[in-house]
Amino acid sequence: MHPKYLDTKGIVAVWREALLAHRSAASLARLNAVKRPEPHPLFAVIPGAVETWERVQTGSLAAAERKPPQSISVKPMNTGGQIKAATRDDVSILTGLIRKSYRDVAQRFSLTPENCPRHPPNCTDDWIRNDFARGVSYYILEHNGRPAGCAALEKPDPDFGYLERLAVLPASRRKGFGRMLVDHVFNRAKDSGIQKISIGIIAAQTDLKRWYQKIGFIEGDTKEFTHLPFPVTFMTCSLPGKGGINAS
C-alpha cells in the first residue's frame, strides 16, 4: 500500500464506510449498530476453537499451515425427531401415517381405490397386521411427542431387504425426517446381516428418484404390472462397510 494511504482499519472497512456514507447515512448508522452478525438460517454456529486454517494469516507461515484440511466433518442439524420400533399396538397409528402421507401422491398421479386399490393411501389396519405376521419391522418417527412419519423393513432373504412404507406427514416434511428414517432402517438392516436394500417407486416420480440417488440408491429395471396403473422403477443400495455407503 502507498505510504500516503496508511491502512489502520482495514481497506474493506474503509471502502464500506465511504460507500455507505455517500449513498445512505441511515444505512451506515443501522449497520454500525450491529454488534454480532447473525448467521444465515441455512447455517448453524458450531461452538469450539477456531482452527488454524480458518484464521486470517499474517506474516510468513508455511504453506502447509495455510491450507485447509482435505476433508471437513460437517455436523448434521438436529431435527428433533425420535425413532422407535413399532409394535402391534401401533397398527392404527401406522395406518393413519401411511394414508395421510401418500394422499398427495395419489392426487398427483390420479390414483384411486378403483384403479389402484393396493396403493398406500388405501392402507388398512389389516395390511399392517399382515405385515407384522410376515415378520416386517416397522419404525415410527415422533416429533414433539407426536407421530410424524414411519418406515418398514422386510427381510425376504438373510442378506437382502426391502425398504417399504417410507412416509412423512406433509406438515413435517423438509426437516430431514425422511433421511432419518432411511438411516435408521439401514442401521437395523446391517444389524440383522442385510447387505443390500431395494425399493420400488413410481417410475414417473423423478423427484423421488433423485432423492434416493442422493442417499446412494442406483436405478435398476423398470417394470409394468397388471395390477398397477403405472410402471415401477426398482432401485438398490449396498449397505455401508467401513468406508460408507456404497451403492451398487
pLDDT of residue 38: 63
pLDDT of residue 69: 40
- What structural domains does the chain harbor? 3-49 (no CATH), 85-238 (3.40.630.30)
pLDDT of residue 243: 37
pLDDT of residue 130: 97
Supply the pTM of this predicted model.
0.66
Q: What is the pLDDT of residues 151-172, one digit of tens each?
A: 999 999 999 999 999 999 999 9
* Cβ-based burial of 106 (10 A; exposed 0-12, middle 13-18, buried ≥19): middle
List the one residue out of 241, 182, 232, 177 whose CA is nearest residue 212. 182
Do 211 and 235 touch, CB atoms closer than 8 A? Answer: no
Do 184 and 178 touch, CB atoms closer than 8 A? Answer: no
For the chain, list residues with pLDDT below 70.
1-28, 30-31, 34-79, 241-248
